[in-house]
Structure 1
Amino acid sequence: MMGSVRCPATCAAAGVRMQAGADADPGVSRVGGRTKYSVRVCINKTCKGQGSPGVLQFAQDLCHPDLDVNSCGCLGNCGNGPNMVILPAEREVSHVGTPARMAEVLNMECGIQVSSDLVEATQCRQSGNVLARSGKLKEAMDKYSEGIALGVSSTLHLLYSNRSGVRLTLGDHEGAQADALLAVEHAPVGFTTAHIRLIDAYYIQGQYEQSAQVLQNLVDTNPEFRATKEFSLISKQLEKDLKVVAR
């Protein structure tokens, strides 16, 4: 259900920046001749509890060139959340609690088509994550496999990466390695988790040199990773283990 158009002060309080322009179409801005939509999803306490982080992640994972997706603070209307707003027209939409609902809104309000397979693959991943967090690892792996079978390219790096983590926990080290390799193959630049999964899979099998090579590949493609605490911890541990092996 569409909410009422909110005043600039309300959006400002929620951390939403307006895009000015008297000639702009309602809810859109023009960038290089393309229609650009800014979508802000409330992640305040009530909306968060109603599932807004999941739909926010879903919209961000689309990586659509005509979408700028981010979080914001409370938009009010908390009883009808999760809530989101489309800028610059400040068009508020309520009850956006599932990927399917977000896909519906993007189609209706922005003219952006989201395939049913993408929605289903995302729901499989999110369900798998819930199962994994609750310790139901085999059921989680089945959900990830179900999502992978849909073959939606933009979701494969996430699904393979998550399934790799579950397999590693279950002791299927070779399976974890195979999934991590596929996650790396499908991963966009900047998605470092796939490489970390592969480092872990090699490491637990005592293949320290392979782990070190994957780490080097990671910093070659993502130089900023070298400045992270995670890089420091991994590199120090590998350096120590490689010295032990060399003795």
Structure 2
Amino acid sequence: MKANPYTANSPPFSSPIFLLSTPNFTPNHANGRIIKASLSPSSSSDEKKSKIEIRVCTNRTCRRQGSLEIFQVLSGIAPPHVSVISCGCLGRCGAGPNVVVLPEGAFLGHCGTPIKAANLMSLVSGIDSSEVESSTENCLKALALRKRAEDETSLGNFSITYNLLSQGYICHADTLMAMDQFEAAEESYSIALELEPSIRRSRSFKARIARLQEKVFPSNLG
């Protein structure tokens, strides 16, 4: 029987557990883990991204309009180069919930649904316009899986919890791939594998890893 993942030594949604950036994707079958390796500095685009800050007004009026939920959604789907913080009144209270994106200083009002929040995150993260819709869908799916996992944990169904969390990390990694956040994506894929080792045999998971390797080590292919 699996232990409660929220009380284990390496709980989900904390620091990454393993990296899987070996060019040949060589698994260690003895323990079900992927051999640890580091991304080469030239292959990672994470550090090339400029830092972005999203401020969400949580003052009284915006809070009544749902800004706390929007803050939670944005915090839950933010890639490494985007920070999400709460702030005081941004003005235009009748147009809330209000957010501002720095350093551009772009103001967005009526950001009152998870879909609008996820769309915003996709856009500020530099995702191609053709992939915004799928990225938004993946973001919201990952959050929904996390909520279901929390519900199953409260019922003591830890095996189901691990499976749901693994699916959630895969969705999150797919979104990070669209953002060209390859190092963060590999970390999420690795956590998904640690939570549910059986996905190693999945064709779709193998295809995802192959795409990641193509992005990270293009010179080693073909």
TM-score by length of 2: 0.45
- TM-score, with normalisation over the residues of structure 1? 0.41
Higher relative contact order (CA 8 A, sep 6+): 2
Higher helix share: 1
Between Structure 1 and Structure 2, whose CA radius of gyration is higher? 1
